[in-house]
Structure 1
Amino acid sequence: MEYNHADLFEGVADAVGERVALICGDRRLTYAELDEHANRLAHHLTDAGVRPGQHVAVQLYNGVEYAAALLAALKIRAVPINVNYRYVESELLYLYRDSDSVALLYDVEFEDRVAATAPEAPKLGHLIAVGGAAPSIPGAVAYDEALKAADGTRTGFPARSADDLYIIYTGGTTGMPKGVMWTTEHLLFAFWNPTLPRPAKPEDVVEMARNGGPLVMMPVAPLMHGAAQVASWISWFMGATLVYTRRFDAADVWRTIAREKVNSLTITGDAMAVPMADELARGGYDTSSLLAFVSTGAIFTGTVRDRVQGLLPNTIIMDRFGSTESGSTAEAVAGSTPEKGLRFAPDVADVTVLDDALRPVEPGSGVIGQVARTGHIALGYYNDPDKTARTFPVVDGRRWLLTGDIATVAEDGSIAVYGRGSQAVNTGGEKVFPEEVEAVLKGHRAVYDAVVTGIPDERWGNRVAAVIQPSGGGGEPPSPGDLDAHCRRELSGYKVPRVYAFVDEMKRSPAGKADYRWAKQVAEGAAEAEGAR
């Protein structure tokens, strides 16, 4: 057995095959059933010509088929590729081509976009349609029919390695998405559950799962987001039951928590926490089983966190820090928030802050640098050696990841994070981190969501601008004057937005990530309209 996700899942399935591994809607599969299901898909992919090292794209909503696709690809030493199901044709074509995918599983809801783009991706030779009637794309096969004809055993699968590749595409808010490459061993340890002892050998993972209790875990984000994928593996390697909803809907999430007695919930920041809190406040949901409410991968503001805690007084609320490239690295220090200053306590010793000379920042010195990690980190970016070299420098023979998060180290060793350097607004020589301003804006009672960006300014180079989605419910929307006064109570003057653009709905990814390109265009349009008046 290797530190390989397919090896480990098969070991867990052999150890606890009768346990329920996955629930989605009215579908429930035990570990043994999910293993057999994935075996059938793996054999079908092999029969279709997919070979070790080749890439299998997955353009699906959450469900049994997505979980099986991850497992099946790894079983035959192929590489699963996550596809954002919101992508339009040009973005899809870029991803199909950039990832060099040779096969694609897609939900029939996306068939028009797939039909328009797949023929333009020369390596994409095999299409599998999930759901609906017979696929309309020439040469595509129906998922259920493909599995009926396939072998459900593990016969003939190649021996796997801890160095087998796993790719997660990430980003796309400021540029086209990039494929983050991991070995399965480094991925396993980088995202290891920090509450559990680290395994000394692969067989230890199976024993932990065998001895695990009847835990029910639910990642709410879409599986095309890395956070939900790694949360799924964490669940299975604990021998737990994993629960999905097909798409994010706050009411459906709470109904599912009540019905399946979910113990641990993982979301991605305010974009999910706010509608979930709104729905929970309406009442009528049984949350007595919920022990942990965990946010990761996006900003979780103090105002929203306090509201969630008030609605779930007996549940532990956690804010985790990490990225697709670094893994899960730290947890927010008690009492710290994006509004007041966000501080994280690292889980492992190989997380620190490096200064401009790529030397560790002395705790308490006040020197500003980048959060960095060594040890279990990604290999780099697929098809992008230049970005890989910039992001993963070698210092004194040691390979580091520079996360792009601007921070310093406090005297107690905690890391004070200011925001993403790539999003910082340079206005008159001062740096403004959007996350801080967004958190303050979302503390206003009439603001439902906020995204902050920089737009050109003749005098200052850039000025701070905010895109605002007002709260619903029939109340008065905020005025620019109201928001200005609110921000000036919490922020230095140079951080206060000079332009406000109001929208009916904020544009975010399905995982809650802000679309800063879109926000910049909206803010520039508002500034032009204001100037015309």
Structure 2
Amino acid sequence: MSTSSLPYWPKGVPRTLNLPQVPLTHYVQVAAERFPNKPAVIFCGSTLSYAALHARVEALAGYLTQRLGVQRGDRVLLMSQNCPQYVAAYYGIMRAGAVVVPVNAMCTPSEIRYYLQDSGARVAMVAQELLPQVMPLLQPADANALQAVLVHAYSEGLPAQPVSDEVPEVVLAPRQWPDAPGLHGLEDAIAQALPAPAEHPHSDDLCVLPYTSGTTGHPKGCMHTHATVLASNMAAQVWRGMHMDSVFLAVAPLFHMLGMQGGLNVPITLGATVVMLPRWHAASAARLIEKHRVTTWSAPPAMLIDFFANPAAAQRDLSSLSALAGGGAAMPETVANLLQTRFGIAYNEAYGMTETASFLLGNPPARGKRQCLGVITPGVDARIVDPETLRELPVGEVGELVTRGAQLMLGYWQNEQANQTSFFELDGQTFFRTGDLASVDEEGYFFMRDRLKRMVNVSGFKVWPAEVENTLYEHPAVHEACVIAVPDDKRGENVMALLVLKPAFQGQVTEQDLIDWSREHMAAYKTPRIVRFVDTLPKSGTGKILWRQLQEQERARLAAAPSQATP
């Protein structure tokens, strides 16, 4: 859709951006020159200045290239919770001209093995508590296996005494790993202060290879260059009015694109300050926002729902927050209203994916729509097409969201089959198929209608789970909701809702109460025929509810208990 037809395009935001032709590492050096003593990262009572960060990045790049033989274009696995060492390792790998392979800290050895084999990484940088998952893969004598691991302890560099009792034990744990061939201490490597390569990487060099979770089969590596990451990075800055004196809260995991951009690349590019948490803790987040006057926070709705349900949120001064943004799921209307009325904060919903380096669509900050992906942002083209014919659909019709833009990845790593099915030509341009069903209204705002395969077919009627979930959130007892499809002999599929109740309502309402209430608030075919209360809902590292996992579990459970058929 052309921006010329968008009546609510933010004033002062250009339709296209003049993107810098420099690598991400350029900004670490520039920030160190401009603001040498400014805090780059604040973590559990420690402060890392930009001058110190730059020195650590340079030293790690020198060690990787001169001691571990890392060459330009090599992939290096990075696996850790959020911490200053992660920041130095991330940019140190890039400064060496290599490619970061960020891995979820919760991965199993078999999953790590897949990432190593698929990416071809021979060197890894790992937090010490994750070594048990990596050590079986370390075989220095095998040129085709993992040959070296740089290890860090979070406690290295922390104050002698923790600043509060909220610091996790894993962060306070002292350095303790075996003396084994192939293991190298990250701080020991930095202490050698070996010079980095004379030349920085180029803007069109690969810099990060994040893997998508995937809907089927193995995860796929997304090939991003410094230029594609910067395109998304710069667009987010301009769109939301962020600047060098912004203070960012980095809670979303840095190994995921939301945290990588919103809590790492964007603030470092600006020369801003990052206040970092090793893992999600609502009370700690509230304390840090108040203490450091945090202005900017990127978080998924599930994290914010948990945050504002915590008593600490009401007890802290959150007035510094000026930009609260995220995506991954629709923000429930009732929660958005709570943020606006009680805290005076408007949640800026946006849309992006690993393949687009996060930021792609965004709601205009001054004129957002609720539960909306937003409009196209600078340099982006997005359309709605028929998933079968790939022909563009008219306004209002539901189809597959396809897109192109400077932030789009080059393609999937060594997976030509996936590239063939994901890219196609439209109007002489190459577009990417997101696999998301959406529609666009007459004002150019896009609305999610769920994944192509995330739909409940009830007697031929299509039910979008997100719509049912948003309605369920209006019930005062519901804290979290996940709607899935389960098979039914008569209707084909039934709508099932897995619900987490708020503590005050536990034992006070029944599953049937929720079913009866739903019948009064939505069409009969959308009403959940099965409701089950659960203590928690499983989530990804960035807070997205794992609906597919739940759907598979419930289908297996119901299949094993046919006597529990629903009416």
TM-score normalised per structure 2: 0.84
**2:401 counterpart of 1:371:** yes
Offset at residue 484 of structure 1 (A): 1.7
Matched with 1:269 is 301
**2:531 counterpart of 1:500:** yes
Structure 1 contact 135–141 (Cα < 8 Å) conserved: no
Over residues 354-410 of structure 1, what are the superposed CA-to-partner deviations in whole Å (9 max), with x where a residue is unaligned? 3343343333xx332221211211112223221122112233541111112212221
Q: Which stretch shifts more, 102-111 or 302-311?
A: 302-311
Looking at structure 2, the residues matched to 121 and 175 of structure 1 have their Cα atoms a distance apart, in angstroms, of 28
Matched with 2:495 is 464
Relative distance call for 1:282 and 1:36 in structure 2 (3 A) is closer
Matched with 1:45 is 64
Over residues 221-259 of structure 1, what are the superposed CA-to-partner deviations in whole Å (9 max), with x where a residue is unaligned? 011111111112111222211111111101111111112
Over residues 241-297 of structure 1, what are the superposed CA-to-partner deviations in whole Å (9 max), with x where a residue is unaligned? 111111110111111111211111111122x01221022566331223222222223
The SS at the match of 2:234 is coil
Matched with 2:205 is 164
Among 476, 493, 506, the alignment partner of 2:507 is 476
Looking at structure 1, the residues matched to 313 and 405 of structure 2 have their Cα atoms a distance apart, in angstroms, of 46
Q: Which stretch shifts more, 78-87 or 10-19?
A: 10-19
Matched with 2:267 is 235
Identical columns (%): 27
Correspondence list, 1:114-193, <5 A: 114-119=134-139, 122-131=144-153, 132-136=174-178, 137-151=180-194, 153-154=195-196, 156-165=197-206, 166-171=208-213, 175-193=217-235
Matched with 1:14 is 33
Relative distance call for 1:26 and 1:5 in structure 2 (3 A) is same
Task: Quote the RMSD (CA, aligned, Å).
Answer: 2.6
Offset at residue 117 of structure 1 (A): 4.2
Correspondence list, 1:284-323, <5 A: 284-313=315-344, 315-323=345-353
Structure 1 contact 449–469 (Cα < 8 Å) conserved: yes
The SS at the match of 1:109 is helix
Structure 1 contact 135–142 (Cα < 8 Å) conserved: no
Give unmatched runs, 5+ long, in structure 1.
199-207
Q: Which stretch shifts more, 448-457 or 225-234?
A: 448-457
Q: Which stretch shifts more, 99-108 or 456-465?
A: 456-465
Structure 2 contact 500–534 (Cα < 8 Å) conserved: yes
Looking at structure 1, the residues matched to 252 and 311 of structure 2 have their Cα atoms a distance apart, in angstroms, of 18
Looking at structure 1, the residues matched to 247 and 280 of structure 2 have their Cα atoms a distance apart, in angstroms, of 18
Relative distance call for 1:92 and 1:261 in structure 2 (3 A) is same
Matched with 2:545 is 514
Matched with 1:26 is 45
Matched with 1:224 is 255
Among 74, 86, 94, the alignment partner of 1:66 is 86
Give unmatched runs, 5+ long, in structure 2.
1-19, 154-173
The SS at the match of 2:230 is helix
Structure 2 contact 481–499 (Cα < 8 Å) conserved: yes
Structure 2 contact 456–493 (Cα < 8 Å) conserved: yes
Relative distance call for 1:187 and 1:360 in structure 2 (3 A) is farther
Kindly report structure 1 stretches of 4+ aligned residues shifted beyond 6 Å. none
Among 392, 404, 427, the alignment partner of 1:360 is 392
Count of residues in correspondence between the two structures: 513
Structure 2 contact 251–278 (Cα < 8 Å) conserved: no
Equivalent residue letter for 1:180: C
Correspondence list, 1:398-477, <5 A: 398-473=429-504, 475-476=506-507
Relative distance call for 1:505 and 1:246 in structure 2 (3 A) is same
Relative distance call for 1:495 and 1:117 in structure 2 (3 A) is farther
Looking at structure 2, the residues matched to 371 and 239 of structure 1 have their Cα atoms a distance apart, in angstroms, of 34
Offset at residue 425 of structure 1 (A): 2.7
Looking at structure 2, the residues matched to 343 and 294 of structure 1 have their Cα atoms a distance apart, in angstroms, of 11
Relative distance call for 1:8 and 1:368 in structure 2 (3 A) is same
Equivalent residue letter for 1:147: I
Over residues 133-177 of structure 1, what are the superposed CA-to-partner deviations in whole Å (9 max), with x where a residue is unaligned? 3422542112222221232x54x3434211111222232566543
Offset at residue 488 of structure 1 (A): 2.6
Structure 1 contact 13–32 (Cα < 8 Å) conserved: yes
